[in-house]
């Protein structure tokens, strides 16, 4: 899929799906990781051009974070669109260290993001830290810490500084499910949704992924699901075009995904397109967050959305690959 093909697809009416407090949003959301350089090399000019192309294609939400790119790059790209009709989401991380005042840290993080974005409120503000069960693990918080954070997010929503709040639902499955069923309840959750249940770094030793159960629980409890890692950080694409460091599980996941690429070839579709069609077809997913870093990659994703949902038999065939 080429950039010129994306220009043709710009006339396509992208599906809009319900997203609770935020109304109806596009089935695809442009993620900030790609335009921030997390998933391989890009530059500011191409990142801004990619956001423009996403808007032209009907995408209505941009999902950024302070940690996406050097010197807050994804938020700085988003600032170029502060006056555009584009929903903006950002995040705050809460490593469980010596400073326990999560409410103050969340507020400081929000204020800093708003300044970088040139906005007076966020449409969606997400906890960017996993919830753990048991002994301390780096870059996680415990259940009590999560409850403190949830109350702080809800207070910011009541103040009008954010329209909605949510969690990155990649923590311990038991704790994620408890958060989706508890109070204060998040408005949204970012859930790993891909055909092979590949979690990459986001896994707890000896704990199998429960993505389908988490999506179902979120849907049953009125929490909007943002599907993330549709291509499993590149494992479900034709080739990984960035360097993977020692111990990076994506390289192993790429090898494990060989049967997926074989099916894609048999069905006559690029693996990335098939992976995104799968995520878009999972019941209960409100929007799929893209990790693209340029217009060419965006074009493949827009083509996947335009191709429509996979059939039940196709979904079953792909799910069988994960067993």
CA dihedral 319, 320, 321, 323 (to 10 degrees): 100
Task: Give the angle subtended at the CA of 35 by the CAs of 29 and 39, to the nearest 5°.
Answer: 100
CATH of domain 3-320: 3.20.20.100
The DSSP bridge pattern shows strands 16-18 and 24-26 to be antiparallel
Which pLDDT score, from 0 to 100, does residue 11 have? Answer: 55
**154-186 per-residue burial string, b: 16 or more CB within 10 A, e: under 16:** bbbbeeebbbbbbbbbbbbbbbbbbbbeeebbb
The residue ranges of every structural domain in the chain are 3-320
pLDDT by 10-residue block (mean), the chain, 323 residues: 52 88 98 91 94 96 95 95 89 78 94 96 96 83 93 97 97 94 97 92 78 96 97 93 78 94 98 98 98 95 97 97 85
CA dihedral 108, 202, 167, 280 (to 10 degrees): 130
For residue 3 the two structure tokens come to 């950039």
> Quick one: 93 exposed, middle or buried, by C-beta within 10 A (0-12, 13-18, 19+)?
middle
Distance of alpha carbon 322 from alpha carbon 172, whole angstroms:
20
Which pLDDT score, from 0 to 100, does residue 122 have? Answer: 97
| Whether the Cβ atoms of residue 86 and residue 129 lie closer than 8 Å to each other | no
Which pLDDT score, from 0 to 100, does residue 208 have? Answer: 86
pTM attached to this predicted model: 0.94
> Quick one: 296 exposed, middle or buried, by C-beta within 10 A (0-12, 13-18, 19+)?
middle
């Amino acid at each position: 899929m080429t950039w010129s093909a994306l220009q043709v697809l710009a006339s396509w009416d992208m599906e809009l799906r319900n997203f609770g407090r935020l109304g109806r949003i596009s089935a695809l959301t442009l993620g900030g990781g790609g335009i921030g350089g997390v998933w391989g090399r890009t530059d500011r000019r191409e990142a801004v051009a990619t956001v423009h192309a996403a808007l032209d294609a009907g995408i209505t939400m941009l999902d950024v974070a302070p940690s996406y790119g050097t010197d807050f790059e994804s938020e700085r790209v988003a600032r170029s669109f502060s006056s555009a009709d584009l929903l903006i989401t950002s995040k705050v991380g809460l490593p469980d260290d010596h400073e326990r005042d999560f409410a103050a840290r969340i507020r400081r993080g929000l204020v800093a993001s708003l300044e970088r974005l040139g906005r007076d409120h966020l449409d969606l503000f997400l906890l960017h830290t996993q919830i753990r069960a048991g002994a301390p693990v780096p870059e996680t918080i415990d259940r009590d810490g999560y409850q403190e954070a949830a109350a702080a997010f809800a207070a910011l929503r009541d103040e009008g500084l954010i329209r909605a709040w949510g969690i990155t639902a990649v923590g311990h499955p038991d704790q994620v499910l408890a958060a989706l069923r508890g109070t204060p309840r998040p408005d949204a959750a970012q859930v790993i949704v891909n055909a092979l249940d590949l979690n990459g770094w986001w896994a707890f030793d000896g704990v199998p992924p429960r993505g389908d159960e988490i999506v179902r629980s979120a849907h049953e409890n009125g929490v909007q699901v943002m599907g993330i890692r549709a291509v499993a950080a590149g494992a479900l694409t034709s080739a990984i075009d960035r360097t993977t460091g020692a111990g990076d599980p994506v390289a192993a996941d790429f090898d494990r995904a060989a049967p997926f690429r074989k099916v894609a070839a048999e069905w006559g579709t690029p693996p990335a397109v098939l992976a995104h069609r799968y995520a878009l077809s999972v019941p209960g997913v409100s929007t799929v967050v893209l990790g693209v870093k340029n217009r060419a990659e965006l074009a493949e994703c827009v083509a996947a959305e335009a191709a429509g949902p996979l059939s039940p038999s196709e979904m079953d065939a792909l799910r069988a690959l994960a067993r």
